[in-house]
Amino acid sequence: MSAEMSGPVQTAFPILGALTFLPLLGMAVAFFARSQRQAFLVGTLSAGLELGLALYLLSAFDADSSRLQFTEHYRFLSVFGLHFGVDGLSVLFIAVTALLGLLLMLYGEVAQERSPGLYVANLLAFQAALMGLFESVNLLQFWLLSCVELIPATAILKLWGTHRDKERAVALYLQFMASGLLMVLAGTLLLGWNHASATGTWSFEPAALLRTPPPPLLQSMAFVLIFYGLAIRLAQFPFHAWLPEISQHGTHATLGVLLVGAKVGIYALLRFVLPLLPEAVHFFKPLVVGLGLTGVFYGALLALMQLSLRRLLAFAVVSQTGMLVLGIFSLNREGLAGALLLSVDFGLAAAGLLFSAGLLLRRAGSALLPRLGGLFDFMPVLAITFLISALSTMAMPGTPSFDAAHLLLEGTIEAHASGVAVAVAAGNVLAAAFLLYAFQRTFLAQRRETAIRPVRTRMTLPEATLTGIVCLVLLGMGFYVEPWLKIVDKSVSGLAENFGIAKESPPAPTSKVR
């Protein structure tokens, strides 16, 4: 097998290209849909096919190799090229994006009547952009696609936002994202310029950039620019302010699912920042760890104080992000594997929470916790979906997050003082606190005088399918994590070897304790 692996693996069928362009095709068709029904039919078909492709990719993916697979190059106008590839770092994200696409079609949220196909087309465009992002192995291409991602996101927020103040949310979102993107661009250009001054040609391929490691000062500058640029997209504390706003003012679930379900920022950290800027990563590690820890607690505490379920979920994401960043910056195999799996699981779990909250809002009409209560009898299926997603978020054993969080803790103990690991675990209990609180307030608590009495409606078939898929995937992955671990293992080991100097010595924790 190793003989075939000598060069980048090229496949006959350009599956990555297909994954990116299939939603675009669906988008073009959806534009011409005459009715909502038609549009959603097109969307579901396209998303279903996409999921099929993603599953095929997952099965064809060779977990025993840490190389980029299925690579594809496209050249346009000899200036701009597209370079696609997947490895263990991205293949799960791609699967999740495909799954979320289908779930969103099933969810089918449309608040107002506009031209019928527009909503579906936007969703598909967003999915295409996300697919492109996760397949990008070129830094500049990643940046360009990040800009493209803004277009459907803004459109969804602007056209289907549910609140009077959504203009403000749109402005806030764009300001945050634009500054983040500018920082990432500056960092990208810095690296490219460094490469150009050393070799005479501009390149943004990680493989090429690796050959010209920048001097320490330049590395630090690039790290600060790119990391904090990405931190905005990640909603990492203290750059998270946009997320609660848009989740309160935006669509119920759609935008949130796409923005936090698919962890683009985590992918970029793993793909670009860690391999390209190893020294700066080491240098800034304490600062980042401090921010991550603060984020875990800050997010959890603010989530505890929220009155609106929608804002509560946003702060839950802020808390999760802190944990993921901590895992990544443990810089060893367990921590990285844990963080990667956990970001996939958290993505799914957050989507599950948002979907069930969204479906709940559709019936109850309010997201204010004081106005909810006693809804368990009315919507038991939703309650259970919410609970399973919540348990997954608090890394309960039996959900996929447990094994991932367990790995992440192992990595954290190995890399940082075990105090950090304890803090992460304690943060997780806080997460449990606010989620249980939200669950109780919404589903179990006595209904107050002011509470809403929802009409008892049956779940439609798509809604039932949606909740079914969410529960099944979360529980199914939870009790058998082995295959997923195997998929990410090789790539993550390769990444950890960059930082492997410390790993040559016998395992860290014992030496620390002695």
Q: Which residues bind another protein (CB under 8 A)?
A: 332-334, 376, 391, 394, 396-398, 402-403, 406-407, 409-410, 413-414, 418, 421-422, 425-426, 428-429, 432-433, 436-437, 440, 444-445, 480-482, 485-486, 489, 503, 506-507, 509-510, 513-514
Residues 6+ apart with CB under 8 A from 424: 293, 296, 323, 326, 408, 409, 412
Q: How far is the CB of 58 from another protein (least distance, A)?
A: 18
Nearer to another protein, 175 or 440 (CB): 440
Q: How far is the CB of 337 from another protein (least distance, A)?
A: 9
Tokens of 403: 């094994």
Q: How far is the CB of 426 from another protein (least distance, A)?
A: 6
**Containing H/E element for 75?**
strand 69-76
Nearer to another protein, 221 or 304 (CB): 304
Q: Which residues pair with 75 in a beta bridge?
A: 81
Distance, CA of 473 to CA of 405 (rounded, Å): 18
Nearer to another protein, 286 or 397 (CB): 397
Q: How far is the CB of 295 from another protein (least distance, A)?
A: 19
Q: How far is the CB of 136 from another protein (least distance, A)?
A: 29
Nearer to another protein, 60 or 422 (CB): 422
Nearer to another protein, 174 or 444 (CB): 444
Q: How far is the CB of 501 from another protein (least distance, A)?
A: 15
Nearer to another protein, 365 or 483 (CB): 483
Nearer to another protein, 20 or 356 (CB): 356
Q: How far is the CB of 383 from another protein (least distance, A)?
A: 10
Nearer to another protein, 109 or 410 (CB): 410
Say if residue 62 is exposed, middle or buried (CB neighbours under 10 Å; 0-12, 13-18, 19+).
middle
Say if residue 498 is exposed, middle or buried (CB neighbours under 10 Å; 0-12, 13-18, 19+).
middle
- Count of CB atoms within 10 A of residue 126's CB? 29
- Count of CB atoms within 10 A of residue 369's CB? 18
Distance, CA of 378 to CA of 380 (rounded, Å): 6
Q: How far is the CB of 11 from another protein (least distance, A)?
A: 27
- Coil, strand or helix at 154: helix
Alpha helices in 332-417 (DSSP H): 333-364, 380-393, 400-415
**Could you give the dihedral angle defined by the CA atoms of residues 92, 93, 99 and 105, in that order, rounded to the nearest 10 degrees?**
-170
Question: Across the chain, which distance is largest between two alpha carbons, in Å?
Answer: 73
Q: Which amino acid is at 220?
A: S
Q: How far is the CB of 349 from another protein (least distance, A)?
A: 16
DSSP 38-74: HHHHHHHHHHHHHHHHHHHHHHH--TT--S-EEEEEE
CB 138 within 8 A of CB 83: yes
Q: How far is the CB of 379 from another protein (least distance, A)?
A: 14
Nearer to another protein, 50 or 414 (CB): 414
Nearer to another protein, 208 or 433 (CB): 433
Distance, CA of 352 to CA of 392 (rounded, Å): 10
